[in-house]
Structure 1
Amino acid sequence: MQHLTPDSESAGLLKILNDYAYALDILDKYDHQVLAIESATAENLFEITYPVAMSAILGLRDKFGGSTLFGNEKDESFQGSLAAIYQTFGGQYVYPSVEEKAAHLLYFVTKNHSFSDGNKRIAAFLFVWFLDKNNILYHTDGSKKIGDNALVAFTLMIAESKPDEKEMMIKVLVNLMNMRN
C-alpha cells in the first residue's frame, strides 16, 4: 500500500493542473464570456460539395446497414448547410478557418435536421471526415485529436443547445480542436 505524503500529493496536483490547464482555461473563459477563436488552421485543403457529401452519406448508410430513411433528405436544407460554411462577406470567408467551417458543419447539419433519419450520426461523420480531408483530424503521431467520447459529447451538446447559444457552442468546439490540442 502506498502512503501519500504532502509532496506526492502536490506533485500529483501539479501534474493534473499541467495536463488539463488548457481545458480549465477554456472553462474559465467560457464562464467569463471571453472565449475567442484562436490557433485555428487557415489553409483549407478540401471543400465539401453536395455530390461528394451525399456519396459519403450513402456510403455510411451502406457500411452500417442503415434503413432507406437514413440519409433521406426531407428538403433542401442540407445543401444550405453546406453552402453556409463557405459564405463570404466583402470577399472574405465568414468562417475562415478549417475548424470554424467544421464546427459550423456539425452545428448546421445537427440543428437543421435535414434527413429523415441519422442526422446526428451524419453530422458527426461529416465533421470528422471534413477534418480528415483537411489533414487536421489526427495528431502528427497518428493519434486521434477528437476521441469517440468527445465526438459524441460535441454532437449532443449542439443538439441540445438553444439557438442563442450557437456562437458560444462554436467557440468551445473550435478551441477544443484547434492547433493547441
Structure 2
Amino acid sequence: MLCANRYIFQLHVLHILFDGQKNFYPSIQEKAAKLLYLIVKNHSFVDGNKRIAAVCFLYFLDRNKALIKQGKEIISNEALAALTLFIATSKPEEAETVHHLIVSVLNRNIH
C-alpha cells in the first residue's frame, strides 16, 4: 500500500501550482521528465522501477499527444534506457540538471 500511495503522490506532484497561479511544471515534457525521475529515484514499486518508470513516461507522453511528432517517436528506446540508467545512478543534488537533460532530449525532436 505504501508503494501505491507514493506513486499516487508523485502523479499529484506534476500538477502543483506555484503561488497558486503558475504551474510549476508548465510543459508536458517537463511533467514527463519529473514523472520519470520520481518513479526511478523514489522506488515507488517493490521491483522494476526503471522499467515501470519508462512505461509510465511513454504512456504519459502518448496520452498527452506528445510521444509522436512528424510521424516518429520523440525518444528512441535506446535513449530512454540510457536516461533511466543515468537517473538511477545520479546523485540527489543533480536532480535539476538531470531534469533539464531529459527535457532537452524530448525537445530536440519537436522542432
Whether TM-score is above 0.5 comes out as yes
Structure-2 separation of matches of 1:150 and 1:73: 30
TM-score (norm 1): 0.57
**5+ unaligned residues in a row in structure 1: which ranges?**
1-71
Q: Secondary structure at the match of 1:95?
A: coil
Higher gyration radius (CA): 1
Q: In percent, how many aligned pairs have the same letter?
A: 45
Change (3 A) 1:137 1:129: same
Structure-2 separation of matches of 1:176 and 1:123: 16
Q: Residue in 2 aligned with 1:88?
A: 17
Structure-1 separation of matches of 2:94 and 2:16: 20
Larger helix fraction of residues = 2
* 1:94-109 equivalences in 2 (<5 Å): 94-109=24-39
Structure-1 separation of matches of 2:95 and 2:78: 21
**5+ unaligned residues in a row in structure 2: which ranges?**
none
How far did 1:124 drift? 0.5
Question: What letter corresponds to residue 54 of structure 2 in structure 1?
Answer: A
Larger strand fraction of residues = 2
How far did 1:74 drift? 3.1
The number of residues matched between the two structures is: 108
Q: Residue in 2 aligned with 1:124?
A: 54
- Taking only aligned residues, the RMSD between alpha carbons, in angstroms, comes to 1.4
Deviations 1:40-61 (A, max 9, x none): xxxxxxxxxxxxxxxxxxxxxx
**Residues 1:170 and 2:93 are matched in the alignment:** no
Q: Residue in 1 aligned with 2:8?
A: 79
Structure-2 separation of matches of 1:103 and 1:170: 6
